[in-house]
Structure 1
């Protein structure tokens, strides 16, 4: 019997949080190994685990998988979270773009970070959230694709929660998204991941990237 998936990344959210969310939503237990010293990264390189010399890395089903999108696609397919509508890729890419704007904040100066926060809220409320509001309204179902829980739903919920960390009232003008958030947050596997003490990473602080030794650029 295969063991639990094992995730390698630095000690923060970053791209690995997307993978944690999807595994958790699928009800899959997993382990993490945080790369807090350069020698840990170099060991993975020497062992041939990092095909493109970067993380995230996930050991799953006897494989060493890299490249975030490939890992997420594999997990979604394996645990039947890919849905039956190929629009799922389009919806996932939209939330990926939005979350990318948020991830960028962690590497900016204080002044530029404030500017980026403004950009995030503006694009969330004028570009991304109106699109998902319309999708849900037109679709008339509880889920983004078909009528079943999928990777697209997980991604959208995570994006909503991330933007709410910047502005708590950000979906106040989007009734479909409010209802969506309430429904998806109460799915048992998701609810468990949102509870205190889960493997979900907290909001990043000023020590987000701090380690005993500076992480190599390849980890970023």
Structure 2
């Protein structure tokens, strides 16, 4: 029997949340070790568990994986969520990279001393650069690539939900994306992950911000 997957990160979204989403969709059970103190982080460093001295870190199949994209790629390939061939995988990667660029901007809001200008920039880029791409891609197909569920779809759903938390109604001009969102949330594994009590994390709050500052020794203005 394979050992359970273990995630090492803070008790919040950040770069680990997309990994949680993908594992949930693949119906893979996982445990979490939450970093709450600098000492816990330094213990991982001293143990040599973090190749580039950073998290997220995922213990899976006897490995200690770091680098978010590498982790997502491994899970997607292992659970057939990366497209049917090399061309599909290229498309999946392009869509995923775009989504991650947008989500990265949202993630950084928690450590911004003045989030208002950044929020305006995120909303503008979402409407003008990112959402039009997905609106066009979903003008006919059920999924983004090759007619089958991929990690790009999972990450797009995660991203649209994050956007709606910040900008209610942002999908009003993107009906294909909104319909896609509705279809995705009806997938049983996703529906379960969206229920209260799941391992999905809530929006970052002051407690999460404090943990970031403590664990990574970040000095905020």
**Which bin holds the TM-score, normalised by the shorter protein?**
over 0.9
Residue 89 of structure 1 deviates from its aligned partner by 0.7
Residue 83 of structure 1 deviates from its aligned partner by 1.1
Task: Tell me the equivalent position of 1:103.
Answer: 107
Task: Tell me the equivalent position of 2:37.
Answer: 37
Residues 1:94 and 2:103 are matched in the alignment:
no
TM-score of the superposed pair, with normalisation by structure 1: 0.94
SS in 2 for 1:180: helix
Report the count of equivalent residues.
214
Q: Per-residue CA shift, 1:137-166, capped at 9, x if unaligned?
A: 1xx210000011110100100110001011
Task: Tell me the equivalent position of 1:122.
Answer: 124
Provide the aligned C-alpha RMSD in A. 1.4
Task: Tell me the equivalent position of 1:147.
Answer: 147
State the alpha-carbon separation in 1 of the partners of residues 119 and 211 from structure 2: 25
Instruction: State the 4+ residue runs in structure 1 displaced beyond 6 angstroms.
Output: none
Q: Contact (CA 8 Å) 2:135, 2:176: kept in 1 or not?
A: yes
TM-score of the superposed pair, with normalisation by structure 2: 0.93
Residue 217 of structure 1 deviates from its aligned partner by 4.5
What pairs up with 1:48-87 in 2 under 5 angstroms? Answer: 48-84=48-84, 85=88, 86-87=90-91
Task: Tell me the equivalent position of 2:165.
Answer: 165
